[in-house]
Structure 1
Amino acid sequence: MTQSFLSRRACLALMAAAVALPGRAVASGFREITWADLIPAGVPYGEIIGLGQIDEVNDTWNPEYDANGKKVNTRLNGKAVKLPGFMIPFDVTSAGVTTFMLVPYVGACIHTPPPPPNQLVFVTTARPWPGDRMWDPVWVYGRLSAQSLTTQIADVGYRMTAQKIEVYEW
């Protein structure tokens, strides 16, 4: 009968791999999606069909979209995804941004009418994103929820709790 023992070096290497693996598993366990993926297959992009309402208190225009703008891709519900976009901050502390809307292009919801609800993601994060980086394009990693929400800026079709946020570099 032979006994095999791991060398001390092999044990240390295994322990180091076990510690490093969860971080890599988090990054690799996310499916990269695009904004087009948030629209169900076969559904055209939502269009503004009516004037909507002017919110004089918040000085915003809440447009009225056709039914396509409110249709969400339920196949992504509960999926771990990675989505690029820009932040529209809601809650900012001295540590940084903790709640924001992820939007597909710069200025969405602020300088132009908001995109349709199925093109907006409401994000919360336990780790604040630094305030001096909030205008950078970002990748947001998290579990997507096809759950609507009305905010002071727009109706939103998705929610996500960010597990990781990083600068988008191209």
Structure 2
Amino acid sequence: MALAAATFLPGRAFADSFREIAWPDLIPRGVPYGEIIGPGQMDVMNDTWVPEFDENASKVNTRRDGQPVKLPGYIIPFDIGADGVTSFMLVLYVGACIHTPPPPPNQLVFVTTRTPWPSESMWDPVWVSGRLQARAMTTQIADVGYQIGAERIEIYEWQ
């Protein structure tokens, strides 16, 4: 019986080691929550909307840098193989970056995973657990303020 209890402990410890956060937690304290869809202009050559954010849009919460977090969101796939999605942008609402202009960089997270996420579940809301890195990058869709190497991805269950 003691062996069985010990077997389940690491999984429980794993689940408890990630702090659940929300999207506003990615914005530094004291920085106003900017417009999610701000003004901008059309880049006719590339057929994309180029948003114009204020100076707060790229400010990231460095207090969260390196922390193990659990964040909900939606998947915008980047790399899809036969086994599923291995890199994606985690966004806070359905259609972000695809049907609407991208949110500001401090509201976008680029995620990589060793275990592909099944493509048939790609449009479901998910929880992503991993170590958050306040590291900017530019993708073909948008500028991103954070990155996570996912240790766990699971369907988000509404409660």
Sort the TM-score into its range (normalised by shorter chain).
over 0.9
Alpha-carbon distance in 2 for matches of 1:132, 1:110: 18
1:126 aligned to 105, 110, 114, which one? 114
Please state if 1:46 is matched with 2:34. Answer: yes
2:95 maps to which residue? 107
Please state if 1:27 is matched with 2:15. Answer: yes
13-22 or 83-92: bigger deviation: 13-22
> Quick one: which amino acid aligns to residue 36 of structure 1?
P
Alpha-carbon distance in 1 for matches of 2:120, 2:38: 37
TM-score normalised by L of structure 2: 0.92
Alpha-carbon distance in 2 for matches of 1:127, 1:80: 18
Alpha-carbon distance in 2 for matches of 1:55, 1:16: 62
2:78 maps to which residue? 90
2:135 maps to which residue? 147
Higher Cα radius of gyration? 1
Q: Equivalent residue of 2:56, what SS? A: helix
- When you count helix as a share of all residues, which structure comes out higher? 1
Measured against aligned partners, the alpha-carbon deviations of 1:33-52 in whole angstroms (never above 9, x if no partner) come to: 00000011111123477635
61-70 or 74-83: bigger deviation: 61-70
2:3 aligned to 9, 15, 34, which one? 15
Alpha-carbon distance in 1 for matches of 2:7, 2:60: 37
> Quick one: which amino acid aligns to residue 60 of structure 2?
V
Alpha-carbon distance in 1 for matches of 2:41, 2:133: 26
Alpha-carbon distance in 1 for matches of 2:38, 2:90: 23
2:51 maps to which residue? 63
In the comparison of the two structures, how many residue pairs are matched? Answer: 157
Q: Is there any run of 5+ residues in structure 2 with no aligned partner, and where? A: none
Q: Equivalent residue of 2:129, what SS? A: strand
Name the Cα RMSD after superposition: 1.6
TM-score normalised by L of structure 1: 0.87
Identity %: 66
Q: 1:50 to 1:105 in 2, by over 3 A?
A: closer
Is residue 136–residue 167 contact of structure 1 (8 Å, CA) maintained in 2?
Answer: yes
2:69 maps to which residue? 81
Q: Is there any run of 5+ residues in structure 1 with no aligned partner, and where? A: 1-12
> Quick one: which amino acid aligns to residue 28 of structure 2?
P
> How much does 1:119 deviate?
0.2
> Quick one: which amino acid aligns to residue 54 of structure 1?
D
> How much does 1:16 deviate?
2.4
1:10 maps to which residue? none
